[in-house]
């Protein structure tokens, strides 16, 4: 999978070429001269080149230099690199920018050595994809050293035998006696030569309740960047972008995806120059970031996952889905079907007591659900969002028998019990804040800004992290809690810590995330049977870092079926459906006021991790019956969708119909889920062309919501080329069609 071509040429030059291969892609690096690491190729799999003369094979001439003088070594500013520094002489945004003790930042790093080995190393303190055995993956480490100052970097590249992804990260080491400062460190940069005008930049933008919309725009000259400066990976941008060739779409064409496995500040984008060279970069947020590295210390970056597909954006997504489902998510819950649950938040908000909760759980049991989740408001004095965060002790008025007493009652109903926490927060009105005001993020002498009436705890401090681990461990050890919803309802402000010296204050944001990861690692290993679900006012921190610890995330606070379908559609660009918490709520919807049938609400939640989020005790018999029907559909079809190959066929961001196709692992069953966003009168029928089918097989519709379809037989080629048609519906109406593959009859 990783090969290194070494040749000593007669003219004394050394040729060295590293070819990284995945099942369908190649990634090639080489040495320019003896020691400059250059990027040669990334894309569809090609045979490893037999020879490499960078002066001939790379466009190294400088703008203004005669293209006829191709014997003249070029100016390095246009050289395509895989690792770059600034100012010697490259002037583009670099992979690594250091400030040495003498104030110098220009640096040139030279190749020193490399090694190739089976497996994938763990990244200390950071979430990462993993290999279960050494023959699943191979890793290339390339060591470079600064020619002038005492700094070394190790570039890590891993390829998996079964996934079309290139995993990259970097270690920076201080090999000298003086400290230096890292001012910018990307996990990966890739230089695409002469590519600018042929690519579009695709990213996932959003806001609270409107997460991860797919945005596509031409890649112009200059910078095109997405980022977070909020401390969390954020609603506003996801740590992801893709470069799509102009003629690429969901099903066809070349697409390069870049995703950072990280939950905090990030920067990701492209710098395109006047001669259309594009440097793509992704890594830790560089704004307000610095990291002091003492003599002998090593800094490890988070990892970036690069995916190339020539099967369009959906092709790229399928690679991310399989990799993240199987080699990022971990533990007992990775492959297991999760709990179908009922959560009381939209049903009761803060107004409940034990009786009301048990009544909701009883109805949940009648519907057939596995687990009840008690959301916000269960702890000491918490009757609205103005107090008590940090005081993780049951409120005696609401829960006279404590969490344990309630959990045992729920278990006696034959259900599991789950509990909400917001562990990273403290309310100014709380015992915790009274005892430890300095544990909240703050700048001495400056008023702390409240967000949802609360402050964030300073997770750069070991004592704060230990306290969080202890408070949660006490409850999880005492009561039968089978599921934890881990919420986080605000972002950073006044981000500083009393314990960080001035020269380390630029480390705050990353140290916070490292603190969070330490807490999550401890709790998830201590309680391996508990299912953890991430949440951040919905999907404000939906990223691979969280998925490493918690295999599912509450996708959005918007539970309206029309909006939710679109949010899931956008989220699926990177993240698999089985990581998306998705619930049916009451109508009119609390966020949008829209009324959509229970069946359609169920269908919108069906591809994700399913549940209900309403006051089930207030439901009529008719509604309970529909809820049971939704759950049955989920168990019959939704769980199949979790591991299926996804094709996005029609985008809610571009038209009135959202259509998803799921081809099950064995290729035998294909599910088509459609949603009409808004009712259109006299609408033309929607044509959908399916994908991923065997053109030589037939497909019979064995289940259809719409009359007249069941029993229809289509050719795989017919469905791919001519497609199928269906008519509209009311606002938010969904339809499911299930196809079964049939052997095509022998030709006569």
Active-site annotation, residues: 487, 557
Rounded to whole angstroms, the Cα distance separating 649 from 718 reads 16
The residue range among 52-60, 156-164, 532-540, 639-647 that interacts with ligand DGJ, by the rule CB under 6 A, is: 532-540
**Helix or strand or coil: residue 410?**
helix
Q: Shortest distance, CB of residue 389 to ligand DGJ, whole angstroms?
A: 10
Rounded to whole angstroms, the Cα distance separating 150 from 91 reads 22
Residue placing its CB nearer to ligand DGJ in the complex, 180 or 392: 392
Contact 25, 166 (CB under 8 A): yes
Rounded to whole angstroms, the Cα distance separating 189 from 258 reads 10
**Helix or strand or coil: residue 85?**
coil
Q: Which two tokens stand for residue 67?
A: 């293209």
Residue least distant from ligand DGJ (Cβ): 376
Task: Show contacts with ligand DGJ in window 665-694 (CB under 6 A).
Answer: none
> What string of H, E and C letters represents the secondary structure of 688-703?
ECCCCCCCCCEEEEEE
- Binding residues for ligand DGJ, how many (CB under 6 A)? 11
Residue placing its CB nearer to ligand DGJ in the complex, 327 or 382: 382
- Sheet of strand 713-715: strand arrangement: 645-650, 657-663, 669-676, 734-742, 698-704, 713-715
Under the binding rule (CB under 6 A), the answer on residue 554 touching ligand DGJ is yes
Q: Shortest distance, CB of residue 271 to ligand DGJ, whole angstroms?
A: 36
Q: Shortest distance, CB of residue 557 to ligand DGJ, whole angstroms?
A: 5
The residue range among 146-154, 531-539, 561-569, 714-722 that interacts with ligand DGJ, by the rule CB under 6 A, is: 531-539
CA 352 to chain centre: 34
Residue placing its CB nearer to ligand DGJ in the complex, 301 or 348: 348
Residue labelled with tokens 């080699």: 327
Under the binding rule (CB under 6 A), the answer on residue 637 touching ligand DGJ is no
Cα–Cα–Cα angle for 364, 369, 372, rounded to 5 degrees: 65
| Cα separations in angstroms, 537 against 374, 376, 451 | 16, 12, 12
What residues have CB less than 8 Å from 53, skipping those under 6 apart? 15
**What does the per-residue mask of binding to ligand DGJ show for 14-43, with x meaning CB under 6 A?**
------------------------------
Under the binding rule (CB under 6 A), the answer on residue 563 touching ligand DGJ is no
Q: Shortest distance, CB of residue 652 to ligand DGJ, whole angstroms?
A: 22
Q: Shortest distance, CB of residue 345 to ligand DGJ, whole angstroms?
A: 5
Backbone angles phi, psi at 190, to 5 degrees: -135, 130
**What does the per-residue mask of binding to ligand DGJ show for 275-314, with x meaning CB under 6 A?**
----------------------------------------
Q: Shortest distance, CB of residue 212 to ligand DGJ, whole angstroms?
A: 15
Exposed/middle/buried for residue 4 (C-beta within 10 Å: 0-12, 13-18, 19+): middle
> How many residues comprise the chain?
748
User: In this chain, which of 420, 548, 575, 662 binds ligand DGJ, going by CB under 6 A?
Assistant: 420
Residue placing its CB nearer to ligand DGJ in the complex, 455 or 663: 455
Q: Shortest distance, CB of residue 614 to ligand DGJ, whole angstroms?
A: 12
Q: Is the peptide bond before 405 cis (omega within 30 degrees of 0)?
A: no
DSSP letter at 440 equals B
User: In this chain, which of 180, 199, 345, 486 binds ligand DGJ, going by CB under 6 A?
Assistant: 345
The residue range among 275-283, 387-395, 533-541, 542-550 that interacts with ligand DGJ, by the rule CB under 6 A, is: 533-541
User: In this chain, which of 146, 250, 375, 563 binds ligand DGJ, going by CB under 6 A?
Assistant: 375
Q: Which two tokens stand for residue 522?
A: 């401890």
What residues have CB less than 8 Å from 702, skipping those under 6 apart? 710, 738, 739, 740
> What string of H, E and C letters represents the secondary structure of 420-439?
EECCCEECCCCHHHHHCHHH
Q: Give one DSSP letter per residue of 671-734, joined into a string.
A: EEEEEESS--TTPPPEEE---S--TTSEEEEEEESSTT-TT-EEEHHHHHHT-EEE---STT-E
Residue placing its CB nearer to ligand DGJ in the complex, 38 or 488: 488
Residue placing its CB nearer to ligand DGJ in the complex, 488 or 738: 488
Neighbour tally for 336: CB within 10 Å: 10
Q: Shortest distance, CB of residue 554 to ligand DGJ, whole angstroms?
A: 6
Q: Shortest distance, CB of residue 31 to ligand DGJ, whole angstroms?
A: 50
Q: Shortest distance, CB of residue 217 to ligand DGJ, whole angstroms?
A: 30
Residue placing its CB nearer to ligand DGJ in the complex, 199 or 345: 345
Under the binding rule (CB under 6 A), the answer on residue 376 touching ligand DGJ is yes
Residue placing its CB nearer to ligand DGJ in the complex, 375 or 507: 375
Alpha-carbon Rg for the chain in angstroms = 27
Residue placing its CB nearer to ligand DGJ in the complex, 171 or 601: 601
User: In this chain, which of 543, 557, 568, 705 binds ligand DGJ, going by CB under 6 A?
Assistant: 557
Task: Show contacts with ligand DGJ in window 704-733 (CB under 6 A).
Answer: none
What residues have CB less than 8 Å from 275, skipping those under 6 apart? 63, 78, 194
Q: Shortest distance, CB of residue 297 to ligand DGJ, whole angstroms?
A: 38
| Cα separations in angstroms, 597 against 602, 614, 621 | 9, 15, 15
Residue placing its CB nearer to ligand DGJ in the complex, 90 or 375: 375
Q: Which two tokens stand for residue 177?
A: 């006696």
Nearest alpha-carbon partner for 317 in 549, 540, 649: 649
Under the binding rule (CB under 6 A), the answer on residue 354 touching ligand DGJ is no
The residue range among 201-209, 534-542, 590-598, 640-648 that interacts with ligand DGJ, by the rule CB under 6 A, is: 534-542
CA 139 to chain centre: 23
The residue range among 101-109, 326-334, 530-538, 672-680 that interacts with ligand DGJ, by the rule CB under 6 A, is: 530-538
**Helix or strand or coil: residue 299?**
strand
Rounded to whole angstroms, the Cα distance separating 454 from 621 reads 40
Residue placing its CB nearer to ligand DGJ in the complex, 42 or 345: 345
Under the binding rule (CB under 6 A), the answer on residue 535 touching ligand DGJ is yes
Residue placing its CB nearer to ligand DGJ in the complex, 199 or 392: 392
DSSP letter at 457 equals B
Rounded to whole angstroms, the Cα distance separating 562 from 568 reads 10
Q: Shortest distance, CB of residue 380 to ligand DGJ, whole angstroms?
A: 15
Q: Shortest distance, CB of residue 206 to ligand DGJ, whole angstroms?
A: 14
Question: How, if at all, do strands 341-343 and 371-374 pair?
Answer: parallel
The CA dihedral of 391, 396, 400, 404, to the nearest 10 degrees, is 10
The residue range among 4-12, 99-107, 535-543, 618-626 that interacts with ligand DGJ, by the rule CB under 6 A, is: 535-543
Q: Which two tokens stand for residue 191?
A: 């230089």
Under the binding rule (CB under 6 A), the answer on residue 534 touching ligand DGJ is no
Residue placing its CB nearer to ligand DGJ in the complex, 345 or 439: 345
Backbone angles phi, psi at 471, to 5 degrees: -60, -40
User: In this chain, which of 239, 302, 506, 538 binds ligand DGJ, going by CB under 6 A?
Assistant: 538
Residue labelled with tokens 């191979």: 138
**What does the per-residue mask of binding to ligand DGJ show for 480-509, with x meaning CB under 6 A?**
-------x-x--------------------
Contact 272, 278 (CB under 8 A): yes
- Residues in touch with ligand DGJ (CB under 6 A): 345, 375-376, 420, 487, 489, 535, 537-538, 554, 557
């Amino acid at each position: 999978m990783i090969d290194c071509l070494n040749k000593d040429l007669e003219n004394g030059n050394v040729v060295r070429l590293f070819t990284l291969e995945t099942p369908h892609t190649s990634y090639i690096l080489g040495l320019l001269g003896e020691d400059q690491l250059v990027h040669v190729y990334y894309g569809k799999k090609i045979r490893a080149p037999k020879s490499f003369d960078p002066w001939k094979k790379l466009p190294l001439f400088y703008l203004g230099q005669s293209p006829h003088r191709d014997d003249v070594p070029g100016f390095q500013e246009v050289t395509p690199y895989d690792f770059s520094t600034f100012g010697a002489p490259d002037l583009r945004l670099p992979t690594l920018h250091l400030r040495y003790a003498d104030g110098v930042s220009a640096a040139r790093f030279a190749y020193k050595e490399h090694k190739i080995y089976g497996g994938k190393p763990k990244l200390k303190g950071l979430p990462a994809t993993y290999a279960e055995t050494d023959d699943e993956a191979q890793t290339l480490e390339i060591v470079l050293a600064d020619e002038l100052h005492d700094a070394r970097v190790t570039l890590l590249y891993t390829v998996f035998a079964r996934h079309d992804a290139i995993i990259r990260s970097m270690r920076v080491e201080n090999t000298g006696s003086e400290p230096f400062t890292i001012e910018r460190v990307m996990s990966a940069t890739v230089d695409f030569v002469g590519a600018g005008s042929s690519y579009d930049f695709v990213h996932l933008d959003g806001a609270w309740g409107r997460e991860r919309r797919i945005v596509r725009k031409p890649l112009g000259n200059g910078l095109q960047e997405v980022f977070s400066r909020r401390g969390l990976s954020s609603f506003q941008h996801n740590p992801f972008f893709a470069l799509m060739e102009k003629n690429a779409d969901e099903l066809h064409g070349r697409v390069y995806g870049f995703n950072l496995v990280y939950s905090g500040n990030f920067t990701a984008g492209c710098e395109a120059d006047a001669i259309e060279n594009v440097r793509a970069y992704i890594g830790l947020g560089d704004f307000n970031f610095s990291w002091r590295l003492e003599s002998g210390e090593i800094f490890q970056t988070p990892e970036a996952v690069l995916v190339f597909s020539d099967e369009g954006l959906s092709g790229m997504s399928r690679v991310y889905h399989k990799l993240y489902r199987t080699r990022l998510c971990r533990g007992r819950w990775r492959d297991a079907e999760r709990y179908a649950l009922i959560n009381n938040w939209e049903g009761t908000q803060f107004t409940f007591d034990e009786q009301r909760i048990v009544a909701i759980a009883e109805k949940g049991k009648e519907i057939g659900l596995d687990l009840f989740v008690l959301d916000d408001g269960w702890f000491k004095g918490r009757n609205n969002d103005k107090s008590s965060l940090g005081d993780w002790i049951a409120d005696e008025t609401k829960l006279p028998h404590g969490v344990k007493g309630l959990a045992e009652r729920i278990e006696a109903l034959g259900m599991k019990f789950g509990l909400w926490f917001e562990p990273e927060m403290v309310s100014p009105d709380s015992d915790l804040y009274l005892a430890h005001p300095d544990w909240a993020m703050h700048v001495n002498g400056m008023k702390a800004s409240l967000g949802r009436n609360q402050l964030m705890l300073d997770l750069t401090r070991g004592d704060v992290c230990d306290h969080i681990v202890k408070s949660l461990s006490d409850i999880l050890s005492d009561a039968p809690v089978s599921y934890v919803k881990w919420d986080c309802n605000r972002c950073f402000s006044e981000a500083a810590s009393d314990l960080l010296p001035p020269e380390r204050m630029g480390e705050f944001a990353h140290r916070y995330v490292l603190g969070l990861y330490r807490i999550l690692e401890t709790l998830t290993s201590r309680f391996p049977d508990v299912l953890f679900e991430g949440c951040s006012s919905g999907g404000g921190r939906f990223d691979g870092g969280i998925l490493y610890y918690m295999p599912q995330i509450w996708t959005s606070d918007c539970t309206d079926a029309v909006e939710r379908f679109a949010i899931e559609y956008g989220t699926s660009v990177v993240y698999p459906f089985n990581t998306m918490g998705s619930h049916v709520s009451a109508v009119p919807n609390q966020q949008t006021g829209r009324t959509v049938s229970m069946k359609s609400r169920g269908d919108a939640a069906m591809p994700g991790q399913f549940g209900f989020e309403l006051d089930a005790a207030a439901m009529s018999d008719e509604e309970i019956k529909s809820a049971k029907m939704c759950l049955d559909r989920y168990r019959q079809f939704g769980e199949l969708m979790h591991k299926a190959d996804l094709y996005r066929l029609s985008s809610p961001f571009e038209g009135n119909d959202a259509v998803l196709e799921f081809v099950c692992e064995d290729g035998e069953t294909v599910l088509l889920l459609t949603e009409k966003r808004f009712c259109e009168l006299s609408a033309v029928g929607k044509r959908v062309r399916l994908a991923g089918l065997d053109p030589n097989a037939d497909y019979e519709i064995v289940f259809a919501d719409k009359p007249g379809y069941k029993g229809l037989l289509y050719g795989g080629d017919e469905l791919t080329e001519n497609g199928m048609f269906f008519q509209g519906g009311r606002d938010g109406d969904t339809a499911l069609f299930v196809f079964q593959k049939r052997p095509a009859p022998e030709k006569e």
